[in-house]
Structure 1
Amino acid sequence: MFLDVLLRRNSQFIEAAMALHQSGAIPPNSYVLDLDAIEDNARSFVATANALGLKIFAMTKQVGRHSGFCEAIMRGGIDRSVAVDMDCAVACHRAGLKTGHLGHLVQVPQRDAEFAAAKLQPDYWTVFSQDKAREAANAAVKAGRVQNLMARIQTEGDTFYRGHEGGFAASDICNVADQIDAMEGAAFAGITTFPALLFDRESRKVKTTPNLATLARASEALAAAGRSDIEINAPGTNSTVMLAALAEAGATQCEPGNALHGTTPLHAVEDLPENPAVLYLSEVSHHHGGNAFCFGGGLYIDPVFPKYDVQAIVSSEPTSARKALASVEIPDYSAIDYYGMIDATGPVKPKTGDTVVFGFRGQAFVTRANIVGISGISTGTPKVTTIENIFGEVTGWPERAL
């Protein structure tokens, strides 16, 4: 789905990545980033968010917390991250992004609380329970600071992905706020949920979830209790075109992730301000039974759409010609993606060593892929910056170190 957008809107990126792979500068099994486009996307996002008074915390997990990605969005005006977990927070901090929001989606483990409070010093720290609030407060006391805590809230009928559930009862938010304020080292700062926005497959539009109404009711209850100056964090499927709706609903914070590299579901069906800036690159390994097998490792296609005919560009030369497109079978999620299987019976005849380029909405942090930054595409001087693992650490490829 996203390969079509890449072909139409950033073909020079495809060709630059293919040329660099053929020269030996990029390994197969790599998420490749157009850092120039990401910087431009960030700058556009910042302009819209600032005009609406929204604080911005960048989500970096989808592109493996790559340091070049972090640096590109900082150049574009975003200086804070939202960390999906502690590994994410550490990688972003190391790259220079301040920790804007911690603990949401994944709570801070008990033994990490003191490190988080003293070293990361997040602007906001989300907690799902009184136990986690006490851990954060106690850690903040030891660090000699007061920590702003966000309460994750929920009520019957709210939307959660299975395994994401948790949070305080929304109907009890005023008591929760008082209890957090009563803890030494803690201050109640606001409320959050996830997801507040979701892509609807049938209408092919982004719609609000019941969670956003839950936030609004809780905000009204807090205001009636004298708490009008609170933060409202409403993440999920952010893009520039959705920010006005978030602000209208009362949100004070937004957390772009896929928007910064142009791969929200809406980007696949509409041309939005953000340009596509990520692709997945592989290489043909061998042939068997009418298929050309390409290396996997990062073939996790975020299932925001029903199953469709996955295609890739396959060529030994840099190209963005549609005649180089071939259908590819991706292993089922229950299998390990050692390889993808390219149909070699059609017009495209893959050869060992050919470059294979996919365009899909990925989640690099759950894979074993490389993350590769390219700078200079906008000026016609593309070069690889760093090749990193999913924790934002330089790998040293191609000089394998033992």
Structure 2
Amino acid sequence: MAIDSFVVSLFLILIAGRLLGELSDRLGFPSVVGEVTAGIIIGPSLLNWVLPHSTLAIIAELGVILLLFDIGCETSIKRLAHSGNQAIRVALLGVVIPLMTTGLASLYWLSLSPFTALFFGCALTATSIGISIRVLALNNQTQSHAGQIILGAAVIDDIVGVMLLSILFNFASSGELALSSTLMLFIMIACFIIFSPPLIRAIIYLTRWLHLKARIPGYEVFVVMTMILLFAWLAHLFGTPAILGGFAVGMGLSKHFTSPFNRYLKNPFTYTNQLEGAAKPLVQLFSPVFFVYVGISLDLSQLDVSFTGLILLAWLSFIAVVSKFLAGLTASSKWQEKLIVGSAMVPRGEVGLVFAEMGRQLGVIQAKEFAILVMVIALTTLIGPLILKLTMEKNQSQ
């Protein structure tokens, strides 16, 4: 791609993503919906101003690595441990039920191959922790019992989702899913997730000491980006997607980080806050590029807009919503809490789109299935927050 085409394309992506993201937020919807819509508008589906290209795809992938870093910064292993059996039950059912129902539905009604149907189902197991937490925060519910179950379940969902994506990525790349290699991959992923954060924390202590010697401005953002790039490369070396590296760096940097060595080493909160603060502008700049690029890659001409096609899309979306909602019904003895947790688990958001885009890049999901999958994810991302908001408003009025 020539430099003039690249800069104009990136300019249009940033402008359209920001404008539609802001509009979506003002209308009460997640900004990610507006960003994907921006990509649809400026992409081949409508205006044809920006076309998919490998250079833009690399920038978009950097955006998703930074997005997973941001999710990792909010991931608390301690919160996960304290969330109890209710959160674990909600999370696991929230993976198993959508995987089976949407996978079988896509196998039967979309006539997909078994592996493509499995990937389709896995993409709809995700829960967007960012979208649900935002709605909870607006209603001062993050510290409630239901809020803690949602947070714990969403953390587990994120980790299980990354593992599923890694296993499917490995299968799509190698073409085989032998039990021994799958078990080995699972062990490698688990080791990477377990041992990377303490190693990252050790690097943080080293870079904090070197910080005193630094004289050139921009040291904090330099440290964060080099760690993200290094561990993204290491994740790829382990046979997993590079996004897992960003997630691991986020967990190592997280204010929720805990380890047995905390009693000997004082937690460098001031320094880690500086590092996280330095990375925020990068996340806010590049992560929308990923969502806009998803919209650019989406070819709406592949959608069946006949009455039968629209009914099928609505039916798959209904299954995607209900399958997650059912998982929340096991959360509590109180019906109001059940409804809050169930509706909070519905939006797939950014994590589902990561799955969809990875499947498209690997050639597992073709253009038609990709368009349907993105539309289902978009609809759950719209419906989930609306149900959650209405449920909490009704709960507060009682």
Q: Taking structure 2 as the reference length, what is the TM-score of the superposition?
A: 0.24
Q: Taking structure 1 as the reference length, what is the TM-score of the superposition?
A: 0.23
The structure number with the bigger radius of gyration is: 1
Q: Which has the higher helix share?
A: 2
Q: Which has the higher strand share?
A: 1
Return the structure number with greater relative CO, CA threshold 8 A, min gap 6.
2
